[in-house]
Every structure is written in C-alpha cells, then in structure tokens.
Structure 1
C-alpha cells in the first residue's frame, strides 16, 4: 500500500506536468481509485478536503482581489520606489522592500506577481538598470515576505505542520531564514548583473506617484481591520478576511463579480485536491516510507541542505503551495525524529525557501511572468532571440539559486532555528 500510494502520487504529478492539467483535479480523480484500492471509502477522501483551508484561501484572496482592483497596492509600491528620487543606488533596496511589504501584509506571493515584475521592468528602463536584475530583486523581497503567518503560504505550512501533530512554533525560524537567504541572493544578483555600475542620468528620475484616492485609502485600511479581527477579536484568518471583504463590497469599493472572478480558483482547487490525495497517501503509509528513505542518506549535518535540494528540485516540476509544502513539511518532522540532533524548524525552513526559490524558473508562474513583464515593456523591444536568451538565463539562475540555498541552509539554518524555534520533539 505504501509503495503503491507513492506511485499513484508520482503519476498524478507527472501526468499533470506533461499534459498541463490542474494537479488538484487529477489528484481527486486518482483519490477515488486510491480509496478503493486501500480498503477505504469516499468519506475518507471527502473528509480529507480541508474546509478550513478553503475558507482561509478564499477569504484572503477575495480581500486582496478587492484591494488590488482599486490600484492601492500598486500605487503603494510606486510611492516606495518614488522615494529614491535621483539616488539610483536606493532603487534595488526599495524594490526589495516593495516586494516584501506587498506580500507580507497578507496576499502572499501569487497576487504580488502581477505587480512586482511589470513595476520592476518599468522602473529599470527609467533608471538604466537591467530589468531582469531588478525583477529578480523584487522577487527576492516577495519571497522574504511569503512566510508571514497571515499569507496563504504561511497558512498552508502551519496547517500541514499542525496536521502532522507538531506543537512547536516554526514560523519565526522559517521567516527569518527565508529573509536571510533572500537578502544574500539579492546581493549576489546585484553584483552578478553589475548593478553598482549604473549611475543616475540627468533625466533618469522616477516620477512621483499620484495621491491615494478615497477608495484606495479605505482598501489599505481594511488590511489593518483584518489584523485587528485576527489579533484582538480572535477571529479565524479566513473568516476575518471574508468579513472585511464583504464590508468593502457592500460599500462598492470594488465590483464584487470581478473580484470573485479574480480569486485564483485553479490554485485553490490544486491545493485542496493535492492535500486530499496526500492525506490518503499518508494513511496508506507512503509519507512514512518516503521520509524513512530520505533519513537513511542524511545525518544531522547534511539533513537541512539535502532537504533544500530535494524540495527545490520537486518545486521545479510542481507547485510549492499544492505539492511541495503539504508533502515535505510533515516529512521534516519524521526525518528529524529518525535522524536526531536536527531541529524540524531548520528542515522546514529549507523546504520553505527552496519551494519559493524555484518559482523563478521560466517553467513556473513567477519566471513566466518575469519574461512577460520584460517583453511587455514597449521601451525594451525584445526580439525572439532575446526572449529565448531570457528564458535560458532564468533557467540557469533558478538552478544556481538552489546551489546558493544549499550552502546557506547548511551554514545558518540550524543555528537560527535553535534560537528562534527550539525543537518540540
């Protein structure tokens, strides 16, 4: 059963990858077959679909669809960058901060991908930076903010950890380690693209953004309202976001039909469907078998970097949100138990950072949007050969980021986790 469950899961990933189908839909269909093979019933599969996660994802994405539709987040990012004026050296720093801020306050990485790459390309043309460099630095900022406890990514990770029965607080270590790695990566990218050679030209001044409209101010304040409900009223994250979104829509801050259509239903179906199948795989013993196999080639010194490499490679061909995090976060706990002397939060940090780092691959949503943003900037005028070169560049860079993460996680992730998230094993 354990071997067969893993084979079925691999078939789902491979079939979705090569046929370009939604993994969640295929996962649920295969789940129907799996429960019969393993002597279970349909209630086991239906019960494995997380209603709590559904409410959380719908609530967060609906609220930020409302906020984004007003242009408030994009304008906020432009104001941050406009603050540099003629101090060109500040642009990459502000680009990083813009990515971090937009993601960390709640929407997560997916909505911000619609804002940061096009913004980076436009600003790069203004000031003379390489647009790929500036887009990647913005992505580094976004990735640093993805593991805030109020983002979809943070919620999915905490949900997976809780289901695995781990009681430790892993968020501080995961978040700080992600920021550490991405800061180092941003500096490496800046140096590699020779960003330090760009000097401010007389006409290379970023235009000051317009003032926030009344609707935009209300939209931004709604984020604070959501945080108030979560922190002080102890309202569930998803319900808090849904409640605030409902108030905004009642007062016509945005068009409800457009905002509901803007919810990433594909991603939600993907996450819930894969999560349900993984629950069946876990009940059949597949996850225990996989973690046991990995533990045999790991020791307390190599476990963290090897987990980063494994998660990064898996993320190149699958979704971090739908496959990597739900699959490998519980494995981190099992592996830490079997090896001994390693903090599960360090392993989770490696999985979290690697799953996000591979997102810049041109075969992923992040990489594809970077290429589209640069190609869509009329003042760049890319030829077909330029686009092919850009594709290869991103592919090589996505591989090199995993090499850097391997080194950073080996050197730093364990000590950081021991200080911020002591093991609860």
Structure 2
C-alpha cells in the first residue's frame, strides 16, 4: 500500500469516526492522524508537521468570531435583531419570507449563519405556530436564509472562504462577492421551492394572530460605538479589501481598549470546537497534499465526473460529506483545494463555479436536525408541537437537499 493511499484511507476513517461518534471532535482526530501519518509514515519531524497548521484560516475564524462576540456581549446584536424584527412586522403569508430575509441580512452583516439562527429561532418558531404557519417551513426558510447570507465576505464562513480562494491564487477583490451572490441565489431557489411545496401560499393572511416583536434594547453610547466599529469592518473588508482577520483583530482590540466589550468573556465564548475543526482538518489536508493523497482523490473523483456533471458531482459529494461533518470546518477546507486539479483532469467546468458548487452543496443540507442550525430550530419549537415529527421531516429535507443541491448546480453551473 502506498503512502498516498494510506493517508487517504486515514482521512476517510477520520471522517467516518466523526459521523458515528458525534461526541468526538473531528479536528482533534485530524491532528492526531496528521502527527501519526506524518511522523511514522512520511518521516516528518513534529516541527515540520506543526508548520502544516492552517494558521491563516484559524486566525480568520478567531478574529471575526471575537469581534462579533464582543458585539453580542454588549447587546449590540440584540439592538440589530430587535430593530430588524420591528421594521419587518411579519404576519401571515409573509412571515416565513420575512424571517428568511432577516436571517439573510443578519448572517451577512457578520455574525454568520449559526449566530443568526440562534438569535432568531426563539422568536421565529413560536411566531410561526401562532400565525398558523408550518413550523417545518419556518425552520427551513430560517436556516436557508442564514446560509444564503453566510458567504458574505465579512461573515465568518465568508471570510474563511475568501482565505480558501486566496489559497487557490484567486485574489480578485470582486470574486468573494461573486461567490456570495451565486451561493445566495441557489439557496434562495431552494427556499422558494420549500415555500411553494410546504404551503406558504395557503396560509391565510393574519391567521392565528401576528408575532409580537421583541423590545429593542436602548442604544447606549457603548452600543453606538460598536455599531460604528461594525460599519467600519464592513467598509474595510468589502470596499477596501482589507484582510478580514487583520481588520477584526484591530477593531476588537479597539473595543476592548475603550471598555466597550468584555474581552475575557468573548475569548471564553469563542467557538473553540469549530476552531479545532478547522485547524485539525486543515493540518491533515495539508499533509495529504504533500503525500500525493489529494492527487489520488482527484483522480478518483475525475473518473466519476463526466464533463457535463462536474459542478453537480462536487455539490453532491459536498452535501453527502456535510451530513455528518462540519460544512465550513471540514468539507470546505477539504474539497475547495481539490477543485483546480479536478477541473484540469475533467477538462470542463469553471474554477469559480466549482467553489460555488462546494459551498452550496455543503450548506444546503444544514437544515437537518443533525446540524447546528436544524438543532437550534428544533430546540425553539413550542411545547405543543410534535418535535419527533418535525425532526423526521427536517432530516428528510436535509437528505433531499444533497440531491437538490447537485441538481441546481447541474442546471445553473453545468448547463448554463
């Protein structure tokens, strides 16, 4: 058995263990596998393996999460959420569509998909039940809206994606916005399909009452300052092309220096599980690149990919992997670096389209209750709702999204 095949099998075993043992962090397994394969198989010293750690990716996740953790801790994100909800005034048929838009906007502004769903789900699901809207429909549109916005260049996932694009040599400042628009369009199509299939048009206007908007916290001087800092973050990253990690660390430091945020609490509440995921899988993937395993993987995928199915295959594989793995922590760092070689071997498709296919395929299944987004929605259901039934339906929808994501990628990226 060659070292390339051994390392690829170790990667597969690592991902499989992460699926069957949900109590394990795949990033931890990835680091252990990297040191085992790199040290015993490739003869690398521990310091050489440590240099494979994806520091840029990890710093991006830490910096952006820290900035928005400070904004959440001082109540600024509550001001944004409450203001958006009051301005929308959702009711009846507009309710799920309104929350789709709210989740999209909040996710795209920087907090990302998980934060957006965590903030909105406790309001959205009870409001849906009161208004006579299917809680299944509400959960799907809420998660889909958050995922449609999460590839904004200033959101956590979008910032991570920008770093991956730069790793492919794609430094065009307009490209992150192109990917963001493409992902948002495909996610919006799936949301529209859910709205039509699950009775969004059959909801009687005003049925069951309307959602009571939450009280908006007062706009204190600290929160005004934080809003200004978040606006500066948007300008620096989107308009001026400043590195998201660099901008986030500088602005987060500014907030703490001005006593506008609790740095100790924000650091304690960082998503360390996701950070370990990104770091561990990134280290293992970088090791696999050196052993030739990624070339072997692209050869295997290229044999399956007909020229007219390139993007569809990428989206489908990403969706299947995301059913049991982190979309942004595992699947994107694993598959995005494979796109250039796979594109070359298949001889058809586009580099940007391939990245969009991976991004969409990996995130469309996140409505599943096995994912963080779906689980947050399930937890927010009122007591009178049959959670077991909603669990089964959300799981079925998540599985279907792996197929739909491939279909949308085929129609919009392969055919057009």
Count of residue correspondences:
409
SS for the counterpart of 1:330 is helix
Tell me the distance in 1 between the aligned counterparts of 2:171 and 2:243: 19
Q: For the Cα contact (< 8 Å) 1:84–1:91, is it kept in 2? A: no
Report which stretch shifted further, 136-145 or 174-183.
174-183
After superposition, the C-alpha distances for 1:253-312 in whole angstroms (9 at most, x for unaligned) are 333222211110111111011101110011111111111111112122111111111110
Residues of 1 paired with 2:17 and 2:252: CA distance? 37
SS in 2 for 1:48: coil
Identify the residue that residue 190 of structure 1 maps to in structure 2.
195
Q: What's 2:406 paired with?
A: 406
**Unmatched 5+ stretches in structure 1:** 417-425
Matching residue of 2:341: 334
Structure 2 unmatched runs, 5+: none
Aligned-pair CA distance for 1:45: 1.5
More deviation in 167-176 or 211-220? Answer: 167-176
Distance 1:273 1:204 in 2: 46
Matched, 1:30 2:37: no
Q: Give yes or no for the alignment of 1:250 onto 2:257.
A: yes
For residues 165-204 of structure 1, what are the structure 2 equivalents within 5 Å? 165-166=169-170, 170-198=175-203, 199-201=205-207, 203-204=209-210
Per the alignment, residue 13 of structure 1 pairs with 15
Q: Report deviation, 1:241.
A: 1.1
Distance 1:324 1:360 in 2: 16
Once residues 405 and 304 of structure 1 are traced to their aligned partners in structure 2, the CA distance between those partners, rounded to angstroms, is 10
- 1:87-236 correspondence to structure 2 within 5 Å: 88-166=92-170, 170-198=175-203, 199-201=205-207, 203-204=209-210, 206-207=212-213, 209-210=215-216, 212-214=218-220, 215-230=222-237, 235-236=242-243
Q: CA RMSD in A?
A: 2.3
**Counterparts of 2:206 and 2:348, CA distance in 1:** 51
SS of 1:302 mapped into structure 2: helix
Equivalent residues in 2 for 1:37-52, closer than 5 Å: 37-52=41-56
2 CA distance for matches of 1:13 and 1:110?
Answer: 22
C-alpha contact 2:343 2:350 (8 A) present in aligned 1:
yes
CA distance in 2 between counterparts of 1:203 and 1:388 reads 26
Measure the CA separation in 1 of the matches of 2:17 and 2:348.
38
Q: Which stretch of the first structure deviates more once superposed, 341-350 or 160-169? A: 160-169
**CA–CA distance in structure 1, aligned partners of residues 168 and 90 of structure 2:** 51
Structure-1 separation of matches of 2:328 and 2:90: 39
SS of residue paired to 1:219: helix
